[in-house]
Structure 1
Amino acid sequence: MAEPKTYDLFIGGEWTRADNSEHDTIRNPATGAVLAKVAIAGESDVERALNTAQDAFPAWSRQVATDRADYLYRLIELIRRDEEKLAHIITSENGKPIREARIEVNFAIQLIRFAAENVRRLEGNIIPGSRPGEKILIEKIPHGVVAGISAWNFPLALTARKLGPALAAGNTFVIKPHELTPLSTLALAELTVEAGFPKGIVNVVTGGGATVGNALVTNPITKLITMTGSTPAGRKIMAAASEGLKEVRLELGGKAPFIVMEDADLDAAVNAAVSARFMNCGQVCTANERTYVHTAVYDTFLERLRAKIAALRTGNPLDEKTDMGPKISAAELEKVDDMVRRAVKQGAKVELGGKRLTGGEYDKGNFYAPTLLTNVSGDMDIVQNEVFGPVLSLIRVRDFDDAITQANKSRYGLSAYMFTQNLKNIMRMTTELNFGEIYVNREGGEAAQGFHHGYGDSGIGGEDGQYGLEAYVDTKTIYLNS
């Protein structure tokens, strides 16, 4: 067997050694096999990456916007060429089924493509002045050096989500991928070289958040911080950034309600509920975390739901027939198991699953059974805290008002789902459901041209679409007189 590849840092368009000799060991969560050794950056390495990005900024920001877009188009073509290779990297380091990994690669393409297509739409304004002949110009300008910090659940797409608009807007970029899943981002960095990106435009510093992330956030060179991750981590970044009055965009946790009314298409709702809960082993911030079903259809829904979940195939994520792979780590698996055990102690009933999968190939990975809980009430911890795992909690509601009230009893406000044919309820939902992103009569999955954002503990700011692209520019106001 070949020795695992060892990765250095990617700074200035080149692979460069970190100042220390330590490395993170990247393991396959399905098999435990060692995939690679990845350098751990220190503060001096982060400083070097930021200085390199800062030096590259003037020339990059002054390029014609469509010329910057052309680099992104070339990158898109290379991603498309290497789709299968990148999908296998994602599956190997993250554990999601290969079919889902291919979807992630395509989503990464769409995110970068939107940014490239819309560089000309970063438009300013000309406003009449307050003096004779005066014009007030409000210009959109890049921030400078943007620091990205991404999570492990969508390792390629989350990097693409930040890289595309940052570069399109004229910024230079330093990214810290999550220490559990850096390989997709490092593969993308290799493609930027092949695409001919100027040196220093894209830089990758690997390692943990306490050292690498904190150094990116607190360094005065960094002008904008865009982070995807947990709510506790987001709070730490917000606090660290406050000293330098940095602009911060945080996409954090979620606790999405999934509401099924009595007039819903039950088959469509069941399919969407399962997809929105068990995709990526439930490790999605927009996942169906709380399923509220009208009492009139509850029993029928439960019967169909149980059958659908029982049919899910859990196993080797590289198998085309696999529906669900492993949890990302043993620690994450134990966290989910503890939450289920506590829910049972508080009165929940395990209809399916509720345990770690063992025996054979399961013993090598972090596999948890697709789980269905009933007899769940709103005061249980599992209804209040983000599970981020393959556990569907089913809750009976009396009517539309009861569903909305229970759905809004959350400190999170990212995504929500509603299945109903009642236009009046849909109209009410648009004003009464307090979530930034709502899926009506469909499964989840945001679009590159939408706007992905939440309220409360789900973060501040947002990503994607024109609103997300606008976050990567600042404004300059000029009072113009002859």
Structure 2
Amino acid sequence: MSNITQKLYLNGEFVDSSNSELIEVISPTTEEVVGYAPKGTREDAISALKSSQDAQKAWAKLPAQSRAELVIELADLLESHADEYARLITLEQGKLFKDALGEVAGSVGFLRYAAESARRIEGEILTSENQDEQIWIQRVPFGVTVGLLAWNYPLALAARKLGNALVTGNTMVVMPPADTPLTVLKFAELIDQSNIPNGVINIVSGDGAVVGDELVRNSMTKLVTLTGSSEVGSILYRSASENITALNLELGGKAPFIVLDDANVDEVVDIAIQSGFGNCGQICTSNERMYIQESIYAEFMEKFVAKAKALKVGDPMLDTTDVGPKVNAREIAGLVEKVTRAKEQGATIACGGGKPEGAEFESGFWFEPTVIMNTTNDMAIMKEEVFGPVVAAMPVKDLEEALSFANDIDLGLSGYVYTNDMRKIMKAVNELEVGEIYVNRPNGELFNGYHTGFKRSGIGGEDGRYGLEGYLQKKTVYVKF
């Protein structure tokens, strides 16, 4: 599956970028060029928006259930090509193949759940204080929407946004991530095979500063939904302000992992490993900083470090592999810088901290599962998102101190709490300043939940009934009869 060359998908046609330039896509496992994506231009972005604008009114006039049936058709097509798409995800992103199969299954699930919501798009009738009058609140589509995707779950994020956008009557221009664009561009083949009308979905790859900027600033765009870093979200926020464009931002996280002394240490260690090193730590809800009650800290960390050392780093296609490569060299350089700074600030590297040894790691973007101890809460490693296989830890006296440390940060996407004391669970639920909390379980959202962040972790959210509502605006109608 090497030397793949994809095209843009504009108004139902596969085309080259208007300047014919290409983006090289590099395998994180081998550093070989595995494919090419079009390097779209502003003109390409405008063409995509015009196509979406032209298609939107007719699409919105279809009954929601008719739109849903076309989304189900797309989900069925994807499910029938699961293995093919999972292999491509692994090739360009380095995700373990078994996890890539899970991403494809999740993508199918996002589309189907959105389709199931078609009959749940509701309005209200309100009582008027005037005689012979009613007030209607209708929920209507925005129109042309833009989906900007992160590289860690490219297909799942495309499906997560497209399903809700389409079922609610919007059209969408999707911009794949520059590092992992191939799977999303290939998804256009299934869209093309489906009966979804031309223009309802357009896909344009390219640089964020060019294609992304045009998509966000253009007045044809009525809603932008982004999954990405807080830094990118801040740039996008300013760009969208010119036209007061609606925003849905799911941004970075620095999840606190709080373990109290009545928790089952062995069970929680396993969860901490899974939630810290899954997808090579490249998940916005990853366990990045652990606050362990001091009475169990030594036991917990001894077991945690031992399991981290035992993780198998290697070929993501093998079932025996636990941790695959990072996505690119830039990400590796960032990890090296963060670990080095932690050591300079006085922390201890309990395991890992660099590239694994062995001939198989001479090429590729590899980083060992890393555990950092002897930290203080003012260190950068406890404040800044790492987005890699690096977990920092420190002891705390009690829940009160853990919550104080956990909240002392400008990010608030997710958090974890482990205790069997319901009073402490409720205290954490009430006081943790995050949009999503995992209590006594690993990370991982469900389709009918709501994935949202506080602070600089974003505005709006995805999934469930509230995620669906994010793609609808309210129209108020005063009816005199």
Equivalent residue, structure 2, for 1:463 = 462
Q: How does 1:6-405 map to 2 (within 5 A)?
A: 6-405=5-404
- Give the partner amino acid of 2:38: A
- Give the partner amino acid of 1:52: S
Structure 2: which 5+ runs fail to align?
A: none
Give the whole-Å Cα distance in 2 for the aligned partners of 1:365 and 1:464: 34
1:374-428 Cα deviation digits (max 9, x unpaired): 1111111111111111111111111111111111111100000001001110111
Give the whole-Å Cα distance in 1 for the aligned partners of 2:290 and 2:74: 40
Give the whole-Å Cα distance in 1 for the aligned partners of 2:421 and 2:148: 41
Give the whole-Å Cα distance in 1 for the aligned partners of 2:101 and 2:307: 23
Q: Give the match's secondary structure for 1:364.
A: coil
Give the whole-Å Cα distance in 1 for the aligned partners of 2:289 and 2:408: 11
Identity rate of aligned residues, in percent? 43
Give the whole-Å Cα distance in 1 for the aligned partners of 2:449 and 2:141: 22
1:156-208 Cα deviation digits (max 9, x unpaired): 11111111100010000101011111111112221111122111111000011
- Asked if structure 1 preserves the Cα contact closer than 8 Å seen for 2:137 and 2:475, the reply is yes
Q: CA deviation at 1:128?
A: 2.2
TM-score calculated relative to the size of structure 2: 0.98
Q: Give the match's secondary structure for 1:174.
A: strand
Give the whole-Å Cα distance in 2 for the aligned partners of 1:433 and 1:443: 17
1:208-260 Cα deviation digits (max 9, x unpaired): 10000000000110000000111111111000000100001111100000001
Q: Give the match's secondary structure for 1:118.
A: helix
Q: CA deviation at 1:3?
A: 6.9
Q: After alignment, is 302-311 or 287-296 more displaced?
A: 302-311
- Asked if structure 2 preserves the Cα contact closer than 8 Å seen for 1:31 and 1:361, the reply is no
- Give the partner amino acid of 2:87: H
Give the whole-Å Cα distance in 2 for the aligned partners of 1:472 and 1:275: 33
Q: After alignment, is 228-237 or 180-189 more displaced?
A: 180-189
Q: CA deviation at 1:104?
A: 1.2
Give the whole-Å Cα distance in 2 for the aligned partners of 1:365 and 1:358: 12
TM-score calculated relative to the size of structure 1: 0.98
Q: Give the match's secondary structure for 1:240.
A: helix
- Give the partner amino acid of 2:168: A
Q: Give the match's secondary structure for 2:452.
A: coil
Give the whole-Å Cα distance in 2 for the aligned partners of 1:99 and 1:263: 34
- Asked if structure 1 preserves the Cα contact closer than 8 Å seen for 2:2 and 2:34, the reply is no
Give the whole-Å Cα distance in 1 for the aligned partners of 2:2 and 2:258: 50
Q: Give the match's secondary structure for 1:243.
A: helix
Give the whole-Å Cα distance in 2 for the aligned partners of 1:424 and 1:443: 21
Q: Give the match's secondary structure for 1:297.
A: helix
Q: Give the match's secondary structure for 2:462.
A: coil
Q: CA deviation at 1:430?
A: 1.3
Would you say how many aligned residue pairs link Structure 1 and Structure 2? Answer: 481
Q: Give the match's secondary structure for 1:296.
A: helix
Question: After the TM superposition, which parts of structure 1 deviate over 4 Å for at least 4 consecutive aligned residues?
Answer: none
- Give the partner amino acid of 1:172: T
Q: Give the match's secondary structure for 1:372.
A: strand
Q: CA deviation at 1:7?
A: 1.7
- Asked if structure 1 preserves the Cα contact closer than 8 Å seen for 2:227 and 2:251, the reply is yes
Q: Give the match's secondary structure for 1:328.
A: coil
- Give the partner amino acid of 1:475: K
Structure 1: which 5+ runs fail to align?
A: none
Give the whole-Å Cα distance in 2 for the aligned partners of 1:479 and 1:424: 47
Q: Give the match's secondary structure for 1:273.
A: helix
Residues 236/184 of structure 1: CA separation in 2 closer, same or farther (3 Å cut):
same
Give the whole-Å Cα distance in 1 for the aligned partners of 2:459 and 2:214: 21
Q: CA deviation at 1:17?
A: 2.2
Give the whole-Å Cα distance in 1 for the aligned partners of 2:305 and 2:240: 46
1:308-359 Cα deviation digits (max 9, x unpaired): 1111110111111111111111010010011001101111111111112244
Q: After alignment, is 183-192 or 366-375 more displaced?
A: 183-192
Alpha-carbon RMSD: 1.1
